Chains A and B, each alone.
Chain A
Amino acid sequence: MPSDGITAVKQLFTRLVYSLGRETATRELKWMKQALIASHSPTLAAMLQRRLSGEPLQYILGTTPFGPLDLLTRPPTLIPRPETEDWTLRLADMLTPTPVRPLTVLDLCTGTGCIPLLLCHLWPPGSTRAYGVDISQHAIRLAADNAARCNIPSFQPAPYSQNVFIPVLGDLRDPDVFKRLLPPFDIITANPPYIPKREYDKLPVSVKNYEDPAALLGDPPDSEEQDGLTFYRLISKILRQKGMLRDGSIVALEVGRAQADAVEGILQQSAGLRNTQVWKDPWNVKRVVLARA
């Protein structure tokens, strides 16, 4: 990489060490070099410069690992988090659909499509039909690109021998969205925006300045409640609709720190799902509320 100017790279790297610590900076530099070899497009100096101004590494590199998958990441769609990866793997382990007893999955606020794509990837071929709904066109396009990248068909009718993931552009407040998708659903997952406004204001630059606020902010600005839980109330209404769930259906909702108890209460009271439990993430934070219909 003679065009980079070795001195420039060294200087930028020194600044990155200052900003992230030596260990992290060294690893990130290594991953940037690996991505350079794979793509040829930008220069190392340009990548370091972007990183220094606070851009998330995943947008610079263009991909992020998610379980065994390597997913595309594009601004402003929310970057899949390791916490989400962890519980999705756990959910995948918990159930064993087969082509004889297939499952239908509905993922709300699907973003990159990471949750349904990982389930489709891990479960046996022909056992899973998944839908991912998102209000953002960027997200839906990215989810479709990711399906193609993972060799998972994203159209109907797909061959019965394959798992299918269909991204759907739609608003959760529109009651007709789900009618087109053939409920009831066996599994409903969601990683909805859950950050309260007062916490959003204090987020690191790499989150606040680069990722879609619509994927992060839990409540609309005009909402009375500013606890980050608006989407859980909305989802509970959807779950309550007749024919959305069947007996034994599973609901898995990711939550923010200190929200698990409140969300458990919402599911029990307004969705009528009494059988709930909470999963912790690898960092010991209550991360998922799980309910069984």
Chain B
Amino acid sequence: MSSPEDIARARQLKELEPLHEAWSNWTHARQSLEETLPLMQDPDPTMRTLASEEFTSLTHTLSTHISTTFPSLLVPPSSTRDLHALLELKAGVGGSEAALFLLDLLRVYVRYAGSVGWRTSIIQSSETESGGMRDAILEIKGEGAYDALRWESGVHRVQRVPATESSGRTHTSTVAVIVLPLSEDAESMSGNDELFKMEDVKVEVMRARGAGGQHVNKTESAVRLTHTPTGITVSMQDERSQHQNKRRAFQVLRARLMDVKLSQDIANRRATRRNLVRTADRSEKIRTYNYAQDRVTDHRIGLSLMNLTSFLEGDGVQDFLDALRRNWQEEVMEDVVGESE
């Protein structure tokens, strides 16, 4: 049994790990460099060559520490680092082609989550007759899922010739993605915490059942929640169980409310310290998938990946997530530095 203090201490230790690792690597590299310097004057030419190679590699290590590793440690640990994620996808312009692309994107995220060891389940989807999906909600359970994926929020645009297009004309369609934060206890149906009060949530069952009870054995399990103060509504009908739909609906409601709260926190912080970090505007087009040019471009950081297949079938999404995280860290760093001036 570990006490809460033990857990807190263990967590603190874990958080200090990167700092400790960076510092030991730095001191180790410096020591090696000092040992290498005399060897560069060695009478043996082979030894001089080896030493010079060593010197180049060590100076590179040290300068990386100064330019990247140490500054990145300035970024305060994320307050959302434990959270899981809900991914909401909605087909935008482009009709059935957008619905097909939604399915492609959904597969990318499911595969990526699987490769990281996160568990996924599609908690809501509406399929179209052409085999695509009009919308979907993907639950991703795994610590850090929200932090890793939150940059995926925004409009994703695809430019390709639809399978159904006989004239070979390129179409442009879009899918809107929203990444929501999901806490461990999000399925709880009791309220009265920081996110909402139970009395503010109206729970409605959908559709009339006539006399109901023994008179009717039709499956009718759809549920709708309305959070009165914000006007947020959540409808769930994918499960056969009303109980289960209600649980899911509360999960989505909590995620949306937490999302609102996090955005507000960021806005407040920006107001107080003139923060430079941009917030994601969710109607903003963030990425283009161009099939003719076999290219994926992220418009926020100007990164292009020349191999669409590696994005859709492989782990190309990792490159974008890494780049976006670095970009965010740099913005936070600038902010921290700016604040201390």
Q: Using a CB–CB distance below 8 Å, which chain A residues touch chain B?
A: 26-28, 30-31, 56-58, 64-68, 78-79, 81-86, 89, 191, 193-195, 199, 203-204, 206-207, 211, 215-216, 254-257, 281-283, 285, 287
Contact = CB atoms under 8 A, between A and B. Distances in A.
Interface in B191-247: 203, 205, 208-209, 211-221, 237-244
Nearest to B125: A30
21 contacts: A31-B219, A64-B240, A65-B240, A65-B244, A67-B243, A81-B213, A85-B242, A86-B242, A191-B214, A195-B214, A203-B215, A206-B217, A207-B214, A216-B214, A255-B213, A256-B211, A256-B214, A256-B215, A283-B209, A285-B213, A287-B213
B217 A79 contact: yes
A195 B215 contact: yes
Contacts of B214: 78, 81, 191, 193-195, 207, 215-216, 256
Contact of A207 (B127, B205, B215, B238): B215
B243 A85 contact: yes
Contacts of A83: 209, 212-213
Interface in B127-163: 127
A211 B215 CA distance: 11
Given A26-B127, A85-B243, A283 B219 contact: no
Interface residues of B, number: 24
B213 A204 contact: no
A58 B211 contact: no
A206 to B, nearest CB: 6
Contacts of B240: 31, 64-65
A204 B216 contact: yes
How would you classify the secondary structure of chain B's contact residues: helix, strand, loop or mixed?
A: loop
A65 B238 contact: no
Contacts of A26: 127
Contacts of B212: 81, 83, 257, 281, 283, 285, 287
Nearest to B205: A282
Contacts of B220: 82
A56 B217 CA distance: 7
Interface string B232-265: 0000011111111000000000000000000000
Nearest to A257: B211
A254 B215 CA distance: 13
B244 A81 contact: no
Contacts of B238: 27, 30
B124 to A, nearest CB: 11
Contacts of B211: 199, 256-257, 285
Contacts of A211: 217
Contact of B213 (A27, A58, A66, A257): A257
Contacts of A191: 214
A107 to B, nearest CB: 16
Given A64-B240, A82-B242, A85-B242, A254 B213 contact: yes
Contacts of A85: 241-243
Contacts of B127: 26
Contact of B217 (A27, A89, A207): A207
A206 B218 contact: yes
Candidate in A56, A84, A206, A282 with the most chain B CB atoms within 10 angstroms: A282
B243 A57 contact: no
Given A26-B127, A64-B240, A89-B243, A57 B213 contact: no
A14 B209 CA distance: 24
B134 to A, nearest CB: 12
B213 A256 contact: yes
B241 A27 contact: no
A239 to B, nearest CB: 21
A65 B240 CA distance: 7
Contacts of A194: 213-214
A66 B217 CA distance: 13
In the A-B complex, the 3 residue pairs with the smallest Cβ-Cβ separation, listed nearest first, are: A65-B241, A282-B205, A257-B211
A60 B27 CA distance: 70
Given A65-B241, A65-B244, 10 more contacts: A26-B127, A57-B218, A58-B217, A81-B213, A83-B212, A195-B215, A254-B213, A257-B212, A281-B212, A283-B208
A14 to B, nearest CB: 11
Candidate in B212, B214, B219, B238 with the most chain A CB atoms within 10 angstroms: B214
A31 B237 CA distance: 12
A81 B217 contact: yes
A65 B220 CA distance: 12
Contacts of A64: 240
A133 B205 CA distance: 31
Nearest to A218: B214
Contacts of A215: 214
A283 to B, nearest CB: 5
B190 to A, nearest CB: 10
A257 B203 CA distance: 22
Contacts of B241: 65-67, 85
B165 to A, nearest CB: 24
Nearest to A68: B243
Interface in B250-292: none
A57 B217 CA distance: 9
A56 B238 CA distance: 18
